Amino acid sequence: MNLKELASSLGLSQTTVSRALNGYPEVNPETRARVEAAARAANYQPNSRARRLATGRAMTIGHVITHTGETEMVNPIFADFLAGAGEVYAREGYDLLLSIVHEGAAERAYRQMAANGSVDGVMVQGPRQEDPRIALLQELGLPFLVHGRTGDARGYNWLDIANLRAFRRATEFLLDLGHSRIALINGQEAMDFAARRRRGYEEALRARSITPDESLMYADVMTEGYGHRAAAQLLDRENRPTAFLVSSVISAIGVRQAAWERGLQLGRDVSIITHDDVLSYLNNDAEGPAFTATRSSIRLAGRRCAEILIERIKQPDAPFVHELWEAELMVGRSTGPAP
């Protein structure tokens, strides 16, 4: 059933039927009711391909997700971020176009989206320091929103969490407990968020006149195995750290495992604070084993990012939106006074 058939079955023109269904005001209420009833009865749905061509809008938002080079790892936080964003898209009538490519192919993916008009805007996640995607999208003139930020962040829309403050605060918390040898198990420091977290950690140490020790800092893709390896190395040193600051619950699980294997008890022999993205399948709440954590829901972030992006697509000339969220420090059972 298409518009033409529906219109002729009603004895009306396509124009009127189209207007009735799209809520235009200049339609007689009775006519509209009649049209709506017929459309429902026939289960009529306007053909989205035709509509998109006619309106010039794709009603689609692009997400380009890259997997990291060698390991081909897909960052698991994307699932929850997408769930949050997807909720909003569905509500607002937008489709979500997902492109999963190798890191090197991302530029081509964005260029293609811009040139062939398959999306109205794109979401950028996990920016690196001086990420080339931002300049590219500015050049292409495609509306976009960055989850995270980098460089001179005034010239585009972003939503970020206060990574530096969160990790400074977490480090201070450990210092207050008497820890002084605190290891940092960070994400790849080419990523902007990881660089900020490291700065927060170092600032807190310096403020207490502790010189940051490079040998206590690790940076890599945040898998469980990485957390385990890094912690194992650190814990087997003669002068081992008494506390760990970790960038992801997944890696923190590896760190915890390494501690257990050495007979060390969390919160007594060794302390862990992790950043917690509140992933739905790794809920770090009262029920399970609760890490002390800086916490900010990636899913809520996804939801809000989608809202902002859609607003910006509708009003391309509005001023840039910058939203900085604080992470809360949740004290769990993985921290305690330095031994």
Q: Applying CB under 8 A, does 36 fall inside the site for a second copy?
A: no
Is residue 188 close enough to count as binding a second copy by CB under 8 A?
A: no
Interface with a second copy includes 47 (CB under 8 A)?
yes
Q: Which of residues 86-145 bind a second copy (CB under 8 A)?
A: 86-87, 90, 95-101, 105, 111-112, 115-118
211 forms part of the interface with a second copy (CB under 8 A): no
| 305: DSSP letter | H
List the beta bridge partners of residue 68. 73
E strands along the chain, which residues? 60-67, 95-102, 121-125, 144-147, 157-161, 182-186, 217-219, 243-246, 271-276, 292-295, 322-325, 328-330
279 neighbors 298 (Cβ within 8 angstroms): yes
Closer residue to DNA, CB minimum distance, 23 or 104: 23
Please report, as residue ranges, which positions from 248 to 287 form the binding site for DNA (by CB under 7 A). Answer: none
Q: Closest CB to a second copy among 110 and 173?
A: 110
Nearer to DNA, 39 or 243 (CB): 39
Strand partners, 310: none
CB 141 within 8 A of CB 121: no
Q: Which is nearer to a second copy, 61 or 204 (CB)?
A: 61
Shortest distance in whole angstroms from residue 84 CB to a second copy = 9
Using rule CB under 8 A, residue 45 touches a second copy: yes
Q: CB under 5 to 8 A by kind: which of DNA, a second copy, none does 22 bind?
A: DNA
- Taking Cα atoms as reference points, which of 339, 187, 335 lies closest to residue 251? 187
DSSP string, 220-256: ----HHHHHHHHHHHHTSTT--SEEEES-HHHHHHHH
Does residue 119 interact with DNA by CB under 7 A? no
267: phi > 0 → left, psi -120 to 50 → alpha, else beta; which?
left
Residue 153 interacting with a second copy (CB under 8 A): no
Residue of the chain from 37, 47, 155, 207 that contacts DNA (CB under 7 A): 47
Q: How far is the CB of 177 from a second copy (least distance, A)?
A: 22
- Burial of residue 215, with CB atoms counted within 10 A of its CB: 0-12 exposed, 13-18 middle, 19 or more buried: exposed
**For residues 3 and 124, which CB has a smaller minimum distance to DNA in the complex?**
3
Note whether 145 and 81 are within 8 A (CB).
Answer: no
Among 189, 222, 217, 220, residue whose Cα is nearest residue 202 = 217
Q: Which is nearer to a second copy, 67 or 199 (CB)?
A: 67
114 binds DNA (CB under 7 A): no
Query: Which one of the spans 9-17, 70-78, 179-187, 236-244 is the region binding DNA (CB under 7 A)?
Result: 9-17
Name the residue nearer to DNA (CB basis): 22 or 280: 22
80 is an interface residue for a second copy by CB under 8 A: yes
The smaller minimum CB distance to a second copy, of residues 111 and 322, is found at 111
Partner that binds at residue 129, options DNA, a second copy, none, CB closer than 5 to 8 Å by kind: none
Please tell me the distance from the alpha carbon of residue 203 to that of residue 193, in angstroms, as a whole number. Answer: 15
Alpha-carbon distance of 130 to 298, in angstroms, equals 23
Total of chain residues touching a second copy, rule CB under 8 A = 65
Tell me which residues touch DNA (CB under 7 A): 2-4, 11-16, 18-19, 21-22, 26-29, 31, 46-47, 49-51, 53-56
